[in-house]
Amino acid sequence: MNKIYLDEKTTPGKPLVATIGFFDGVHRGHQFLIKQVCDEAKASGMESAVITFDEHPRKVLHQDYQPRLLSTLEEKLILLSRTGIDNAVVLHFDREMAGLSAHDFMEKVLHDRLNVKKLIIGYDNRFGHNRAEGFDDYVRMGHEMGIEVIQSQAFSLDGVNVSSSYIRKLIEKGELELANKCLGYPYAIYGKVVSGYQEGRKLGFPTANLDLSGSGQLVPANGVYGVKVRLQDSMQYRRGMMNIGTRPTFNGKNLSIEAYIFDFSGDIYGQTLVAAFIHRIRDEHKFDSAEELAEQMRNDAKIIEEQFDKESEDEE
């Protein structure tokens, strides 16, 4: 996949069949749309392209908005590279870009800079200043510029249209299994390993405490999860157990994200850990003593190991 960061030096290349959107998470609905783009490009003898943005539009337009995203830009580009798309075009979204009308965006960006000949847009996608125009307007304006505009159908799963907002709601409620089904892969977070409270180590479960403050990613609901983790520069996944919550047994107040990695004792402070959520085990509870919590954690670890073992057997 060719990555294009659009700037003033970018000149029109080969004719493109393209789609446009933020593509947070590159979920199965996005994958469905992108496949249509790839198929149309192949049939038309052109290259395919996904046009996306480096920042969430709401973050630029509403400075008090704190995005809770499914993927970082880096992860989004990795996910896009797995779809078979020829090009990923990254636009710098700022107030100047936000001020473009749909007509000016189509003319100055899609037509003049990117040589888009066919534009396939999501069933509910709108773009341009204040998103004032709709699909019929895009068709009319595109016809004037020599851009054929095609509307994609929605991708439904169990009667629900899959969207990034729907998946976020599932993750916020801790329904990771269904969220993963909609994504087409396990939801993952990226966090820097930092010093923590050391309570897990005292209980026999030394944990890696993750700081997600720089990622802008959505944190799942409080609770205990079975996860698979890896260091960012490694492809080796290890089984693990993650607790998200406020540590009520120790009268904690602040949210902590702690991963216990099975059969691992290395020093990974300062490194970035990737944690993919596979199962949700239980809610977070306050226990009467540290010993009672330790016993529960041993039971949780056993349940997680058994679930992973069963999945491994089913795959054989």
Q: What is the CATH number of domain 186-315?
A: 2.40.30.30
Q: Do domains 13-160 and 186-315 have the same CATH topology?
A: no
- Kindly give the confidence (pLDDT) of every residue in the chain, 316 residues in length, as a single tens digit, with 9 standing for 90 and above: 999 998 777 777 899 999 999 999 999 999 999 999 999 999 999 999 999 999 887 777 776 766 689 999 999 999 999 999 999 999 998 888 888 999 999 999 999 999 999 999 988 888 887 777 889 999 999 999 999 999 998 899 989 999 999 999 999 999 999 999 999 999 999 999 998 777 767 677 889 999 998 788 999 999 999 999 999 888 899 999 999 999 999 888 899 999 999 999 888 999 999 999 999 999 999 999 989 999 999 999 999 999 999 888 777 6
Query: Is residue 141 within 8 Å of 103, Cβ to Cβ?
Result: yes
Q: What is the CATH number of domain 13-160?
A: 3.40.50.620
Q: How far apart are CA 128 and CA 105, in angstroms?
A: 7
Q: How far apart are CA 30 and CA 197, in angstroms?
A: 40
Q: Where are the domains of the chain?
A: 13-160, 186-315
Q: How far, in whole angstroms, is CA 53 from its chain's centroid?
A: 14
Q: What is the pTM of this model?
A: 0.90
Phi, psi of 226 (to 5 degrees): -85, 125
